[in-house]
Structure 1
Amino acid sequence: MSALPPLDALLDAARVVVLPMRVKFRGVLEREVLLLDGPAGWAEFSPFVEYDDAEASRWLAAAVEAGWEGFPEPVRNWIPVNATVPAVATAEVPRVLGAFDAVHTVKIKVAERGQSLADDVARVAAVREALPGAALRVDANGGWTVPEAVAALAALAPFGLEYAEQPVPTIEGLAQVRAAGTGVLIAADESVRKATDPLAVARAGAADLIIVKAAPLGGVRKALEIVAEAGLPAVVSSALDSSVGIRAGVALAAALPELPYACGLGTVALMSADVALEPMVAHDGGITVRTVAADPGLLARHAAPAERTRWWLDRLARCHALLAAS
């Protein structure tokens, strides 16, 4: 981990904003983000509010790397990205896709609580109809049981899926789904970024590829180590970040020795506001590697209320204490 700055330095550098969404994602219509103006550049600390401090502290380690150390040298300067379709009604699919530029790959959310397999099939069918030549992938966020996943992937496979992301919650379950012969590749996300041992999924032969996110894994360099040790193809994804956070994901994708798949770094398009004057959104299906700075006017316009700012600063202090003690 990068050298930990004093807490006062982080608090002085912190700005908290609330960014409205174009469409509900992960159950929210507003995304709260804490930004840090560090000596190496702007950084983002935005673990989801339901995460405990132990998990959130890894996000702070990633932010310290970004703001106080900077990123590794890139081996490529352009990153292909996918569009993301949340678990919306089929009638909403064209509007969601319309927010993205030159879509070649789409990740579609499935297994949403309160919805059915029929809803998932209809949503995937709507995307396929809109984009006959695009690569499609689905993300269940661990929402199915093993029998449900096998049945769902059998129903969705005819649409030509590139892979299915985290169809079930456990590594053992992933291995069982992978062994079921659905014809769909299995990608592990939560089983990598939320696990105490992010390499367990690779040792168990439970996935064909892994999803890696810079913030939950503790930073770009730590994520690069995990990919190298796992020995599996990797897809870089985001966690509904502002452009500042997306910059870290782009840095990770740019530094990987191989990048066989489009990356899930296009989620700024799901927001109706951002902190950068030139947001990190895709053009012609990809994002160019560049620096990103938060704009003072946008920070002021989207500043969080005082009570939410205090909540985030208190969280920052608790996570700092955990990192200092580790």
Structure 2
Amino acid sequence: MRSGQITDVEVIRVPLRSKFRGVSFREALIFKGSERYAEFSPFLEYEDQESSNWLRAAIEFANTGLSKPIRNKIEVNATLPAVTEDEIAGVLLPFGKFETVKIKVAEQGEALVDDVARVFATNKLFPRQKIRLDANGGYSVKQALELLQKLDGLPIEYFEQPVETIEQLVELKSSMLAMGLNVKIAADESIRKASDPMLVAASGAADIAVLKVQPLGGISSALEMSKQMALEPVVSSALETSLGISQGLFLASLLPSLDYACGLGTVSLLATDIAKNPLIPVNGFLEVQEVELDQGAVRQLRVDSARREFWHQRLDRCLNLL
């Protein structure tokens, strides 16, 4: 790999407005390639093998010309972390207008009753908006069924990764059919963390594929994967800065069909950003565009020397795996 593909390396830490899956900040290594800047931001607990996919995606984006988009703007959903009922309105305010809200459930330390209350409270505040549930694989089949029964009658668009394994997803879908619970299942972790990401489609375990560019190794890889899986696609973020979100935007712009609002509005969850043109939704949409880096913001968000060393070593290890 040529050294010219990765230059002008910076490491930043961006605070979040509210805790998200226990995370209160995001760290990222950003660099310049032959075409543009890119972001490498696997979560801190990820091992090098998994993180190397994120680096492959960043290198591709930084050093490859972009194809002409099929669509120039992408509808996005709002995203609600596992907050209290009193916090819901304030957390969703930065998203502006939206037609769909994804609600995080199955948070560690929370009970099913908390999730039910959060969903009903959100529906009361936004009665016309569609609802998505995202459990990140945190429920058992029994708990997922119980939640759906309690929420029956609400406008649930789909349930994202309700349980952990493909076997559990198959069992859940079968039980839902028998109980008359007509809600689509979306697979996230069962695709991006699987040794065989095609298995979820082959098993009939999901209706929708959640595509995340960095975890899937890049735009070209995600496009090919979506084509082979033949599930309905939706593109989502990995809680990135605008630099990372732009990769997802270009993926969404290139999918042959896209019938769902995408989870790419998550810059609204950050307390600040590193773009001169931050990718904040306007009237529920994001314009497909490249991001211009705000060097002043980058300087303000630089990490200390110990964190820089951590990320530089991580970069070197992941490069050796490509």
**Pair in the same fold by TM > 0.5:** yes
**Equivalence for 2:35:** 40
The Cα of 1:26 is off from its aligned counterpart by 2.2
In the alignment, the residues of structure 1 paired with residue 137 and residue 116 of structure 2 have an alpha-carbon distance, to the nearest angstrom, of 17
Compare 41-50 and 24-33 and name the one that shifted more.
24-33
Q: Deviations over 1:93-145 (max 9, x none)?
A: 00011111112110000011111111011111111111111111010000011
**Equivalence for 2:321:** 322
In the alignment, the residues of structure 1 paired with residue 18 and residue 110 of structure 2 have an alpha-carbon distance, to the nearest angstrom, of 17
**Equivalence for 1:235:** 234
**Equivalence for 1:281:** 280
Asked if 1:176 corresponds to 2:171, the answer is: yes
Report the TM-score when normalising by structure 1: 0.95
**Equivalence for 2:122:** 127
Report if aligned partners of 2:5, 2:63 keep a CA contact under 8 Å in 1: no
**Equivalence for 2:75:** 80
**Equivalence for 1:5:** 2
**Equivalence for 1:195:** 194
Aligned equivalent of 1:114, options 94, 97, 109: 109
**Equivalence for 1:305:** 304
In the alignment, the residues of structure 1 paired with residue 45 and residue 107 of structure 2 have an alpha-carbon distance, to the nearest angstrom, of 18
3-state SS in 1 of match to 2:201: helix
What stretches of structure 1 move > 3 A for 4+ residues in a row?
none
**Equivalence for 1:158:** 153
Aligned equivalent of 1:64, options 44, 59, 65: 59
3-state SS in 1 of match to 2:94: coil
Report if aligned partners of 2:5, 2:32 keep a CA contact under 8 Å in 1: no
Paired residues in the alignment total 318
Report if aligned partners of 2:5, 2:59 keep a CA contact under 8 Å in 1: no
**Equivalence for 2:251:** 252
Asked if 1:143 corresponds to 2:138, the answer is: yes
The gaps in structure 1 that reach 5 residues or longer are none
The Cα of 1:70 is off from its aligned counterpart by 3.5
The gaps in structure 2 that reach 5 residues or longer are none
The Cα of 1:30 is off from its aligned counterpart by 1.4
The Cα of 1:9 is off from its aligned counterpart by 5.0
In the alignment, the residues of structure 2 paired with residue 234 and residue 5 of structure 1 have an alpha-carbon distance, to the nearest angstrom, of 34
Q: Deviations over 1:177-227 (max 9, x none)?
A: 111122211110000011111110000000011101000000001000011
Q: Which letter does structure 2 place at the counterpart of 1:37?
A: K
Report if aligned partners of 1:157, 1:184 keep a CA contact under 8 Å in 2: no
In the alignment, the residues of structure 1 paired with residue 100 and residue 123 of structure 2 have an alpha-carbon distance, to the nearest angstrom, of 11
How high is the sequence identity, in percent, across the aligned residues? Answer: 47
Report the TM-score when normalising by structure 2: 0.97
3-state SS in 2 of match to 1:157: coil
